[in-house]
């Protein structure tokens, strides 16, 4: 004999969610009303969603603002150091060079050979310091960006290759937005590439370096890679890496990020190099250019 009981399906469905294809909640049922009120309390309203989105947007704008302030402070410090090196240190080095030349001229013919040898060592050391100072001043000064970021990076990578003897290439996407970048955005891209290449020259023990600019609908990505020894374990967590902090700040100022990856070790425990990927948001970069255009347009008097 069939003793099963047929129960209406709505009997097992909370009345508060019956609206999803079942019966509506029964206002006369206290349990149904309580369940409905509980779900409404825990379901974010569109007003709450909007408030959360506004707060996220405000925090992102604040991150951009603070990052931009840090970048501007770094550029001001670079300018001060470059001026000091050029004006004060450069003048002292020039005076030292003349003094050494005078000593060499006035050195008696019967002076011990050790004197002439010591002068030669001092002169070579002075030449090395003068050359290093010139390079430091050149890198600390703000580059000429009148020709745009593509021209500036192309020239600098060529000079880098000549100075370091590393095989260096530069490839850039054909994107008209690159010609519209404001100075701050172009300088951020340039400084990140400059820092990444300098790190390759100092630490990578590489024979080649490649610089590439990629463009998507939303982002510009700067990729700097090498074929060197890669990063040592824990290198990114060490304190004192101001170069990496500067790159992160420059990207964050334009809603971007920096990622550094090292190739895997092969059977011979060789590493295929390091890659720096710095991403910048087009909207954040071009916003400065649009603001300048709007200010220029507002400054034009209306014709009568």
Q: Tell me the C-alpha to C-alpha distance, in Å, between residue 203 and each of 69, 76, 131, 263, 292.
A: 29, 27, 20, 15, 40
Q: Give the model's pLDDT for residue 2.
A: 44
Q: Give the model's pLDDT for residue 175.
A: 94
How far is the first Cα of the chain from the last one, in angstroms, to the nearest whole number? Answer: 99
Q: Give the model's pLDDT for residue 297.
A: 45
Q: Give the model's pLDDT for residue 75.
A: 61
**Domain edges within the chain:** 147-304
- Please write the tens of the pLDDT for every residue from 200-255: 998 899 999 999 999 999 999 999 999 998 876 555 555 444 578 889 989 999 99
Q: Give the model's pLDDT for residue 288.
A: 59
Please answer whether residues 214 and 173 qualify as being in contact, where contact means their C-beta atoms are separated by less than 8 angstroms.
yes
Residues of the chain falling short of pLDDT 70 = 1-45, 64, 66-80, 82-87, 135, 138-142, 232-242, 264-271, 288-304
Give dist(CA 211, CA 171) in Å, integer.
6
Q: Give the model's pLDDT for residue 221.
A: 97
Classified by CATH at the fold level, domain 147-304 comes out as Heat Shock Protein 90 (3.30.565)
Q: Is the sign of the CA dihedral 298, 57, 67, 259 positive or negative?
A: negative
Q: Give the model's pLDDT for residue 71.
A: 65
Q: Give the model's pLDDT for residue 138.
A: 67
Give dist(CA 201, CA 163) in Å, integer.
10
């Amino acid at each position: 004999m069939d003793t099963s009981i047929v129960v209406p399906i709505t009997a097992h469905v909370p009345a508060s969610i019956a609206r999803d294809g079942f019966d509506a909640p029964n206002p006369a049922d206290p349990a149904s009303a309580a369940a409905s009120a509980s779900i409404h309390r825990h379901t974010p309203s569109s007003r709450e969603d909007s408030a959360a989105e506004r707060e996220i947007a405000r925090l992102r704008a604040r991150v951009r603002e603070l990052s931009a302030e840090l970048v501007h402070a770094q550029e001001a410090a670079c300018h001060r150091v470059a001026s000091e090196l050029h004006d004060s240190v450069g003048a002292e080095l020039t005076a030292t060079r003349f003094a050494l030349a005078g000593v060499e001229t006035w050195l008696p013919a019967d002076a011990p050979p050790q004197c002439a040898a010591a002068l030669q060592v001092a002169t070579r050391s002075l030449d090395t310091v003068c050359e290093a100072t010139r390079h430091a001043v050149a890198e600390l000064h703000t580059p000429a960006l009148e020709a745009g970021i593509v021209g500036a990076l192309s020239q600098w990578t060529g000079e880098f290759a000549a100075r370091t003897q590393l095989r260096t290439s530069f490839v850039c996407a054909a994107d008209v937005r690159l010609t519209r970048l404001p100075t701050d955005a172009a300088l951020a891209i340039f400084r990140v590439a400059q820092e990444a290449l300098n790190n390759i020259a100092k630490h990578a023990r590489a024979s080649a370096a490649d610089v590439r600019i990629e463009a998507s609908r939303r982002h510009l990505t700067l990729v700097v890679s090498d074929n060197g020894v890669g990063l040592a374990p824990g290198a990114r967590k060490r304190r004192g890496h101001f170069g990496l902090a500067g790159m992160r700040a420059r990207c964050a100022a334009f809603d971007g990020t920096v990622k550094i990856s090292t190739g895997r070790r092969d059977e011979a425990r060789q590493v295929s190099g390091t890659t720096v990927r710095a991403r910048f948001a087009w909207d954040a970069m071009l916003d400065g250019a649009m603001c300048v255009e709007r200010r220029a347009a507002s400054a034009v008097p209306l014709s009568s």
